[in-house]
């Protein structure tokens, strides 16, 4: 270990020595770990993009002192315009590693990581006396908490309860419990509206849909994105044969022949590829011009986001069954959400693509 690194580590440890003298509390993260935190948390490092997005919506951006280096890639190019404060935050590490010297220099009180962060990484941070909180946004069975593609007996419970627990955990850590409750209420209100309006829609009338990603990757069962499609009344063509997030063949997609293709907002180039590549042309969705780029608020990741439930499922359901949602103005609802949780107006940056 270099002398500079030793000095940085010592400085970090000394700055954290006051932790033991101030009032503390015990929380349980989504790996089931019991973690002791100071009563008041004002300095956090976030090494997971989903948690970063949650903290922004919980109005805790000012508490963030460091973020993962590839946050723009993970959250999309438009996120920097949405939350320009993030461009001035220190960047260090990513989902699976962290620069320890840079970390201790920031004097964080808490570090947020993904549930699948390597145990070595968690141990390394914890050994510095810095509490580590893992967030998965899932309620997993024992033995599944640290997996990227966990086994699930009940997807609805895993993601519905898991999202509530994850939001409340993040809110509790940064002392924003009331904001966390408001975010949960807003998310599940939109989800309930879709559920109620599609309750009587028979399986035989549901639209066959496919979620396209770069390199023919798609979401099957065991991921929130597939569940999102189900909530919106779609039949995910990949659900029966794909577990998690995996590549499929072009031949398989043609055989599935989806009526609709969704593409996440961060991959507009995939829309162009599908519409211009001759291999895709036999598919009904392409022939009928139903390849849709999703808005930013849909955030169709393998993990749920509150606006995906509160807005994204509603947008998707309205695209699939417009007659059931004629009274819903998505621009108005999105703007209301963004003003409440992002403290700015919603700007639809994908409308000009002609893909929606």
Nearest 10 degrees: Cα torsion 203, 209, 211, 212: 160
User: What pLDDT score was predicted for residue 22?
Assistant: 64
User: What pLDDT score was predicted for residue 4?
Assistant: 46
Half-sphere exposure of residue 199: CA atoms within 13 angstroms, side-chain side? 6
Cα(346)–Cα(334) distance, integer angstroms: 6
Cα(222)–Cα(98) distance, integer angstroms: 28
Q: What is the sign, positive or negative, of the torsion defined by CA atoms of 195, 199, 201, 206?
A: positive
Please give the CATH topology (third level) of the domain spanning 190-353: Rossmann fold (3.40.50)
Cα(2)–Cα(188) distance, integer angstroms: 51
pLDDT tens-digit profile, the chain (356 residues): 554 455 455 545 544 444 444 679 999 999 999 999 999 999 999 999 999 999 999 999 999 999 999 999 888 878 999 999 999 999 999 999 999 999 999 999 999 999 999 999 999 999 999 999 999 999 999 999 999 888 888 989 999 999 999 999 999 999 999 999 999 999 999 999 999 999 999 999 999 999 999 999 999 988 899 999 999 999 999 999 998 899 999 999 999 999 999 999 889 999 999 999 999 999 999 999 999 999 989 988 778 899 999 999 999 999 999 999 999 999 999 999 999 999 999 988 665 444 54
80 near 61, Cβ under 8 Å? no
| DSSP β-ladder status, 24-28 and 34-38 | antiparallel
Give domain 3-175's CATH superfamily: Nitrogenase molybdenum iron protein domain (3.40.50.1980)
Question: What is the per-residue DSSP string for 84-132?
Answer: GGGGGSEE---SS---HHHHHHT--SEEEEETTS-HHHHHHHHTTT--E
Q: What's the whole-model pTM score? A: 0.88
User: What pLDDT score was predicted for residue 304?
Assistant: 86
Cα(233)–Cα(196) distance, integer angstroms: 11
User: What pLDDT score was predicted for residue 227?
Assistant: 92
356 near 236, Cβ under 8 Å? no
Residue with tokens 């019991």: 34
Residue 289 burial class via C-beta count within 10 angstroms: exposed 0-12, middle 13-18, buried 19 and up? exposed
82-120 pLDDT per residue, tens = 999 999 999 999 999 999 999 999 999 999 999 999 999
Q: Which residues contact 177 (CB under 8 A, 6 or more apart)?
A: 168, 171
Report helix, strand or coil for 1. coil
Annotated domain spans of the chain: 3-175, 190-353
Q: Do domains 3-175 and 190-353 have the same CATH topology?
A: yes
- In percent, the amount of the chain with pLDDT more than 90 equals 81
Cα(71)–Cα(49) distance, integer angstroms: 6
């Amino acid at each position: 270990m270099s002398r500079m690194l030793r000095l940085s580590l010592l400085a970090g440890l000394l700055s954290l020595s006051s932790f033991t003298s101030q009032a503390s509390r015990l929380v349980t993260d989504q790996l089931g770990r019991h973690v002791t935190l100071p009563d008041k948390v004002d300095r956090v490092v976030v090494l997971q993009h989903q948690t970063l997005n949650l903290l922004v919506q919980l109005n805790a951006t000012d508490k963030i002192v460091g973020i993962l280096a590839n946050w723009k890639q993970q959250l999309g190019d438009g996120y920097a315009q949405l939350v320009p404060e993030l461009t001035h935050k220190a960047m260090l590490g990513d989902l699976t590693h962290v620069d320890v010297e840079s970390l201790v220099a920031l004097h964080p009180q808490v570090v947020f990581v993904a549930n699948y962060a390597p145990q070595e990484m968690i141990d390394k941070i914890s050994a510095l006396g810095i509490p580590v909180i893992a967030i998965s946004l899932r309620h997993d069975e024992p033995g599944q908490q640290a997996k990227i593609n966990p086994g699930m007996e009940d997807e609805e419970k895993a993601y519905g309860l898991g999202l509530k627990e994850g939001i409340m955990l993040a809110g509790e850590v940064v002392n924003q419990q009331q904001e966390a409750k408001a975010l949960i209420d807003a998310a599940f209100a939109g989800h309930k509206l879709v559920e109620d309006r599609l309750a009587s829609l028979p399986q035989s009338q549901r639209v066959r849909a496919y979620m396209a990603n770069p390199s023919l990757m798609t979401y099957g069962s065991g991921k929130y994105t597939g569940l999102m499609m189900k909530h919106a009344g779609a039949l995910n063509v990949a659900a029966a044969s794909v577990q998690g997030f995996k590549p499929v063949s072009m031949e398989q997609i043609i055989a599935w022949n989806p009526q609709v293709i969704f593409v996440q907002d961060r991959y507009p180039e995939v829309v162009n590829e599908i519409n211009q590549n001759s291999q895709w042309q036999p598919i009904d969705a392409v022939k009928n011009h139903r390849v849709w780029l999703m808005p930013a608020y849909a955030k169709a990741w393998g993990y749920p986001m509150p606006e995906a439930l509160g807005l994204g499922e509603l947008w998707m359901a309205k695209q699939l069954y417009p007659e059931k949602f004629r009274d819903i103005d998505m621009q108005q609802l999105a703007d209301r959400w963004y003003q409440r949780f992002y403290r700015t107006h919603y700007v639809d940056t994908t409308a000009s693509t002609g893909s929606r």
